[in-house]
């Protein structure tokens, strides 16, 4: 079986052959081949992906301290990892989580937005678009195991998954808080949220830049489940099993039916959307707002340090 999988997936062959030749008793060692094919692990600087072939489920763990912010490097690695899993037909499900103690993802890298050139700013936004297009349209079942705060683009990442489970810690927050930075969520951010929680809740949330604690997020439908932190991954695995019990083709066509319209809209307007973002972010007034926001973060950090 493992050999058949490896023969279909030619890229796995070199690994398999080295496993075969490393058997100490000189015969084909079926059990080591089996183990070699059951799990694969890939690590890049900002994330680790564990794929368990026996369940068809991969776990992507983001590990870019201090806050898993969406920098150009981070987004590039994220998209490459996602693409690899998408191309492997034996991978049917993906759980996304963070290795950092209190943060799932802090959203767009604000440092990269400050004083950036229009070219770099355009590249960054193109990568954010790419992340969303890939994740929102993924054929895999995608589950966000939100184990920390998740503002802005971090919330978008979670919203782009099929299902969201959040660790029940009142210090964690999630939401599209762009207006509190003096910026405006893109139309596809807005529509991803309103497809999830409805128009009125989205209108209030975006206008006020609301960040919800887990209880509030559950009440508004921004997340589907909240669980104690130590139960997060097992709950995600259980939810995944439920989703994977549905035949792939039926689930995938349904997902496409629900999401295609907005995906097509961004695909048709990608370049205009990039120009709009670059024009907006590079304005002096917006740059000033971003710097003020960064200062506020620094002050908040300093006051936490001095608090008794
Ligand atoms: N980007 C870059 N650096 C960040 C970010 C970020 N998004 N967030 C925090 N940092 C930095 C801090 O400045 C700090 O740096 P340093 O150590 O050098 O002082 C470091 O990360 C650690 O931060 P904290 O001490 O605040 O860490 P905590 O664990 O106490 O808190 C939080 C973590 C909750 C994530 C907190 O840092 C926070 O609230 N950050 C702000 C995040 C935010 O507001 N993100 C939204 C960004 S906007 C977005 O994603 C969408 C943009 C869409 C634009 C559309 C326009 C058309």
CB of 179 shorter than 6 A to ligand 1: no
CA of 297 to the centre of ligand 1 (A): 7
List Cβ neighbours of 180 (8 Å cut-off, separation of 6 or more): 209, 293
Quote the pLDDT of residue 14. Answer: 38
CA of 178 to the centre of ligand 1 (A): 12
Quote the pLDDT of residue 117. Answer: 94
Quote the pLDDT of residue 10. Answer: 34
Q: Is 42 within 8 Å of 48 (Cβ atoms)?
A: yes
Q: In ligand 1, which atom is closest to the CA atom of 178?
A: 48
Which residues are known catalytic residues? Answer: 108, 153, 177-178
Q: What span, in angstroms and rounded, lies between the C-alpha atoms of 32 and 43?
A: 22
Q: What is the dihedral of CA 227, 141, 43, 167, to 10 degrees?
A: -10
Q: In ligand 1, which atom is closest to the CA atom of 280?
A: 57
Q: What span, in angstroms and rounded, lies between the C-alpha atoms of 13 and 216?
A: 49
Burial-class residue 307 by CB neighbours within 10 Å (0-12, 13-18, 19+).
Answer: exposed
CB of 131 shorter than 6 A to ligand 1: no
CB of 149 shorter than 6 A to ligand 1: yes
CA of 3 to the centre of ligand 1 (A): 46
pLDDT along the chain (308 residues), means of 10: 36 36 35 57 94 97 98 98 96 98 97 94 98 98 98 98 98 97 96 98 98 98 98 98 98 98 98 97 95 93 78
Mutate to test the pocket of ligand 1, among 106, 180, 189 (most ligand atoms within 8 A of CB): 106
Chain centroid, CA 223 distance in Å: 14
Q: At what angle do helices 270-281 and 118-136 cross, to 10 degrees?
A: 130
CB of 177 shorter than 6 A to ligand 1: yes
CA of 175 to the centre of ligand 1 (A): 13
What are phi and psi for residue 227, nearest 5 degrees?
Answer: -145, 155
List Cβ neighbours of 84 (8 Å cut-off, separation of 6 or more): 42, 49
CA of 110 to the centre of ligand 1 (A): 7
Name the residue with the closest Cα to ligand 1, atom 35: 106
CB of 298 shorter than 6 A to ligand 1: yes
Quote the pLDDT of residue 37. Answer: 61
The answer for 175, left when phi > 0, alpha when psi is -120 to 50, beta otherwise, is left
């Amino acid at each position: 079986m493992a050999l058949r999988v490896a023969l279909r997936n030619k890229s796995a062959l070199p690994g398999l052959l080295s496993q075969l030749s490393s058997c100490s008793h000189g015969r084909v060692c079926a059990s080591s081949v089996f183990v070699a094919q059951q799990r694969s692990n890939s690590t890049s600087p900002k994330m680790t992906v564990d794929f368990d072939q026996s369940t068809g489920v991969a776990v992507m763990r983001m590990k870019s301290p201090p806050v898993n912010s969406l920098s150009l490097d981070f987004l590039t690695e994220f998209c490459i990892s996602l693409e690899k899993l998408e191309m492997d037909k034996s991978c049917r499900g993906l759980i996304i989580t963070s290795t950092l103690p209190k943060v799932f993802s802090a959203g767009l890298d604000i440092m990269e937005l400050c004083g950036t050139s229009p070219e770099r700013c355009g590249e960054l936004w193109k990568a954010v678009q790419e992340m969303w297009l890939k994740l929102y349209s993924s054929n895999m079942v995608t589950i966000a195991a939100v184990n920390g705060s998740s503002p802005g683009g971090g919330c978008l990442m979670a919203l782009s998954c099929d299902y969201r489970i959040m660790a029940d810690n009142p210090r964690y927050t999630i939401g599209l808080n762009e207006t509190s930075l003096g910026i405006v969520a893109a139309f596809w951010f807005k529509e991803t949220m309103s497809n999830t929680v409805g128009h009125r809740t989205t209108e209030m949330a975006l206008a006020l830049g609301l960040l919800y604690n887990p209880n509030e997020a559950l009440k508004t439908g921004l997340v589907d489940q909240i669980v104690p932190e130590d139960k997060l991954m097992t709950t995600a695995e259980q939810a995944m099993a439920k989703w994977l019990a549905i035949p792939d083709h039926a689930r995938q066509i349904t997902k496409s039916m629900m999401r295609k319209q907005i995906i097509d809209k961004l695909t048709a307007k990608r370049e205009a959307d990039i120009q709009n973002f670059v024009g907006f972010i590079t304005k002096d007034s917006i740059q000033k707002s971003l710097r003020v926001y960064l200062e506020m973060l620094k002050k908040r950090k300093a006051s936490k340090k001095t608090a008794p």
